[in-house]
Amino acid sequence: MLLNYLKIAFKVLLRRKFFTAISLFGIGFTLTAILVVTALADYALAPLPPEVNLDRTLQIWWMVVRQTSNGQTREIAGSAGYAFLDRYARDLPGVEKMSIASDPFAATRYVDGRTETWTMRTTDGPYWEILRFDFLEGGAFTEEDERNGNRVAVISEAARRAFFGDRPALGGSVELDGQRYRVAGVVRNVDLLRAAAAADIWAPHSTRKSQDFRRFHFASEFSALLLARSRADFPLIKTAFRSRLELAKSQESFEKLLGTPETRLEQFASATRRTDTAEPPTRMLIGQSIGALLLFMLLPTLNLVSINMSRILERSSEIGVRKAFGASAGHLVGQFILENIFLCLVGGVLALGGTALVLHGIAQSGLVPHLDVHLNYRVFLIALGVACFFGVLSGALPAWQMSRLHPVRALKGGAR
């Protein structure tokens, strides 16, 4: 029976090629847009190199503090400070390793009278244990390099090509912002979607020209990476950090102090909507994303409903014959929905190809430098599910209405 339904579906698609082409274009375009966004989101949230431990990593980044001094009240919202993280985020229960890293900042290089700008971070030794970079040459600098202020750096593959051409970089030197660094290692390029790792050059904190950053508690562009023993320790870590915040409020005389260790998804949620609560609005982000997806699918679904009504109306005689021979409304509805799902799956296959082309185009355009995102089985399964949902949603109403036709009216080509 199922095989017969599929044969009928294939012949129906070939019968009216124009309507089929319009339907496939609408389905393919809609699914391509959805899959491109899904592939990028999946890539940003997945534990991939160098963020291979992303599924058990929390990051303390955004802080809100209010303090009154000399009769003046000021509120600061922004990145955490090195001094605050060093004092209140270390040795939290459930944390296996902890690292403090700067946000990316611009570093300049002067070559032949022109200025080149490179993205730089300063980090510590544990940073290289939490994140697992793919080293092409050498290795990472150590905590001892950080303590001793050794002017060493890890550079990206792109930076090696710019600084050294085709020559090996290990042991060589690079000059940035008037300071010279010895190259300790070279890593593969990291794109911006790997938020905790993205940079071109990494150096120890102690190599900064000024060490004043070690005194600042807030708004000094630092974050803490917390590698948990397992995801099950996340609630314990967050609870412990909230206790540290209460301690900091009493010790530093803060009126308000907000911030929490966040997963990557929670960071996205916090970036879209900052609130006065410690917990990021993750559920709201998921709900808004689902709502936006349904709204995006609404227009092509309505168009498909209209096309399906026209296509099914042409088959009223077939419906009448089948009903006259005892076909139930359930069988007819099942057949029409299966035909529509078949159409949507064909559109889904086209969308997968379109998505691959769009992602390749984005990677080649340089909009996101070093981006290397591909389709994977998760995106494929999402495409399959969305295509089937799309097929049921746009085919159920027309199939139900046509299945209710009286056999005599159907044979005459009439609609109820």
**68-84 pLDDT per residue, tens:** 777 778 888 888 899 99
C-alpha Rg value of the chain to the nearest Å: 29
pLDDT of residue 408: 53
Question: Within 13 Å, how many C-alpha atoms sit on residue 355's CB side?
Answer: 27
pLDDT of residue 145: 96
pLDDT exceeds cutoff 90 at 15: no
More confident residue, 112 or 404: 112
The rounded percent of the chain whose pLDDT value lies above 90 is 41
More confident residue, 407 or 401: 401
DSSP secondary structure, 184-237, as one string: EEEE----TTSTTT--SEEEEGGGSS--GGGG--BSSSEEEEEEESSGGGHHHH
CB contact set of 363 (below 8 Å; sequence gap of 6+)? 371, 372, 373
Other CB atoms within 10 Å distance of the CB of residue 117: 11
pLDDT of residue 395: 72
pLDDT band at 415 (very low <50, low <70, confident <90, very high): very low
- The SS3 assignment for 24 reads helix
Rounded Cα distance, 122 and 109, in Å? 17
pLDDT band at 225 (very low <50, low <70, confident <90, very high): very high
DSSP label at residue 55: G
Rounded Cα distance, 190 and 158, in Å? 10
pLDDT of residue 416: 44
pLDDT exceeds cutoff 70 at 222: yes
More confident residue, 411 or 384: 384
pLDDT exceeds cutoff 90 at 165: yes
Q: Residue 168 in contact with residue 137, Cβ under 8 Å?
A: yes
Which secondary-structure segment (H or E) carries 100?
strand 95-102
State pTM to two decimals: 0.80
Q: Residue 169 in contact with residue 141, Cβ under 8 Å?
A: no
CA-to-CA dists, residue 310 to 18, 20, 395, 405, 415, angstroms: 12, 12, 12, 15, 11
pLDDT in tens, 325-371: 666 666 777 777 777 777 778 888 888 889 889 988 888 887 788 88
pLDDT of residue 24: 79
Of 64-68, 164-168, 326-330, the one with minimum mean pLDDT is 326-330
pLDDT in tens, 104-160: 999 999 887 789 999 999 999 999 999 999 999 999 999 999 999 999 999 999 999
pLDDT of residue 162: 94
The rounded percent of the chain whose pLDDT value lies above 70 is 84
Rounded Cα distance, 137 and 185, in Å? 5
- CA proximity to 284, closest of 299, 297, 271, 298: 271
Other CB atoms within 10 Å distance of the CB of residue 355: 24
Domain ranges of the chain: 2-47+283-411, 62-261
pLDDT of residue 185: 97
Give the helix, strand, coil percentages of the chain, each rounded to 5: 55, 20, 25
pLDDT exceeds cutoff 70 at 274: no
Rounded Cα distance, 299 and 377, in Å? 28
pLDDT (average), residues 383-405 = 72
**Mean of per-residue pLDDT scores for the chain:** 84
